[in-house]
Amino acid sequence: MSQPSPARVTIAPSLLAADFSRLADEARAVEAAGADWLHLDIMDGHFVPNISFGPGVLRALRPLTKLPFDVHLMIEPVDPYIHAFVEAGADHLSLHPEAGPHLHRSLQLIKSLGKSAGVVLNPATPPDAVEWALDLVDIILVMTVNPGFGGQAFLSSQLPKIAALRRMIDASGRRIALSVDGGIAPGTAGRVIAAGADTLVAGTAVFGRPDYAAAIAALRADAP
């Protein structure tokens, strides 16, 4: 009997690596190329040493694509802006435990608005930062670079953490996406999938390539 095929990996291109003068075209292009989610990196120049864009960009793009908006909030404080991002069209809101004093309360707020809630773990943040909030979590996002910039080198030190989170999620019995962000490209994609990830965020490896469909296919093809 043949083995069941492994579940299809979710691909979330990060708009941070797109051409900012043509964001509408770029969003539509990755949708046509087979992306599953659109990853939107929100940076405030305070929580991370870079500034990207805010809810106005989401609002402008929302009518142009059916892709779920996977919003990665790198802002502190974060709670006062959650409503604004939901109103602008966010479907998933992921935040860092370090961005506010009450992670559980922030997740409750996101869930009360009917959206998917995510927790993002920096390279030095351990898995137990999310363990006691799993009942409110839909996505765990493991940073395989320090947040703030695209195009950084993948940190292989995070592979055992991805494996530990895979075990934690499986033991919980809950449906939680295990996503990885930073330096994901053919080569590293296969390694994080082998460790247990099911969702890949990729900026440079999609928008930095000439053919987005080929780039997304290459990420999927890297699955072990």
Site residues, Zn ion (CB under 5 A): 41, 72, 181
211 is catalytic: no
In angstroms, rounded to a whole number, what is the distance separating the alpha carbons of residues 192 and 181?
A: 10
91 is catalytic: no
In angstroms, rounded to a whole number, what is the distance separating the alpha carbons of residues 104 and 97?
A: 9
- Shortest-Cβ-distance residue relative to Zn ion: 72
12 contributes a contact to ligand DX5 by CB under 6 A: no
Helices 188-195 and 159-172, axial angle in degrees (round to 10):
40
Cα distances (angstroms) measured from residue 2 to each of 6, 179, 190 = 12, 28, 22
Helices 212-221 and 23-32, axial angle in degrees (round to 10):
50
In angstroms, rounded to a whole number, what is the distance separating the alpha carbons of residues 224 and 189?
A: 9
What is the closest distance, in whole angstroms, from the C-beta atom of residue 180 to ligand DX5 in the complex?
10
In angstroms, rounded to a whole number, what is the distance separating the alpha carbons of residues 224 and 210?
A: 25
CA quadruple 70, 201, 197, 220: dihedral positive or negative?
A: positive
Nearer to ligand DX5, 183 or 196 (CB): 183
219 contributes a contact to ligand DX5 by CB under 6 A: no
What is the closest distance, in whole angstroms, from the C-beta atom of residue 39 to Zn ion in the complex?
6
Task: Select which of 36, 70, 138, 181 is catalytic.
Answer: 181
Nearer to Zn ion, 14 or 106 (CB): 14
The only residue of 14, 65, 122, 199 in contact with ligand DX5, by rule CB under 6 A:
14
What is the closest distance, in whole angstroms, from the C-beta atom of residue 166 to ligand DX5 in the complex?
21
Among all residues, which ones are annotated catalytic? 41, 181
- Contacting residues toward ligand DX5, per CB under 6 A: 14, 16-17, 39, 41, 72, 145, 147-152, 181-184, 201-205
